[in-house]
Amino acid sequence: MQTSVLIVIAAFATSILSGIFGMAGGLLLMGLLAWLLPAATALALHGVIQFASNLWRATLHRRHVVWPVLLWFAAGSAVAIALFSLLIFAPTKFYVFLGLGLMPILVWLPERWLRLDAARPAHAIGGGFVSTGLALVSGVSGPVTDLLFIHSRLNRHQVVATKAVMQAIGHASKIVVYGGVLLSAAARDAIALPAMAIAIAASMAGIMVGGILLDRISEAQFRFVRRWLVTLIGATFLLQAARIALA
């Protein structure tokens, strides 16, 4: 019961962050789930909650979604899903926390190093493949999809809306690959089905709150705060990965 309540509260709070910045919330929620649950179960549950959360965010901001970009991104994602479906890969807490810790480094890469633009088909396909692959290993891939928007001319609402659909695709991939573990007795003991449904509803409510707050911040605040926010979160998860490795 305590685990279920904690997951519901975390789903709501972290979705507010995602609703504002389009990232960070998923990182925090994945870290919490990986701390509480076995890695595969955490990945699958995170996929279910975040899929609903991102799909709801995309619905709320649907008029800002840049749909042509998503067709090519989805093609790259499909290749990654097919590849992981053929591989025998057992996720561990160490790999999850390591991936969560290292990923924020991407937000500090000099923009001249990777001149990516989501509007270019080749970039969108590559981004879909890489981000979905990373989502299947560490649970999240927000900083990777962010790279696709560095040189785009999209405003903050278009970035949040379009990225929401991209993230929904990535989280759906975790459901496809790992979703079966949620049917196991161990998963049902960890979190009851009603609690899972409440967590999904809480994440959708958090997205609505975050959307309201998004309208109240400037473009400069949007870009500055989320960079430092994900860096702090990433550093925390790197320490956790080091603790697991040294244990």
> Quick one: pLDDT at residue 12?
92
Q: Pick out the chain residues at pLDDT < 50.
A: none
Which residue segment(s) compose the domain that 197 sits in? 2-246
> Quick one: pLDDT at residue 222?
76
Cα(163)–Cα(54) distance, integer angstroms: 9
Q: What's the number of domains the chain is made of?
A: 1
> Quick one: pLDDT at residue 106?
74
Non-local CB neighbours of 103 within 8 Å, separated by 6+ positions = 27, 134, 138, 140, 141, 142, 143, 144, 230, 234
Residue 113 one-letter amino acid:
W
Cα(82)–Cα(129) distance, integer angstroms: 10
**With contact defined as beta carbons under 8 Å apart, do 69 and 163 qualify?**
no
Non-local CB neighbours of 209 within 8 Å, separated by 6+ positions = 15, 16, 19
Non-local CB neighbours of 189 within 8 Å, separated by 6+ positions = none
HEC sequence for 44-89: HHHHHHHHHHHHHHHHHCHHHCCHHHHHHHHHHHHHHHHHHHHCCC
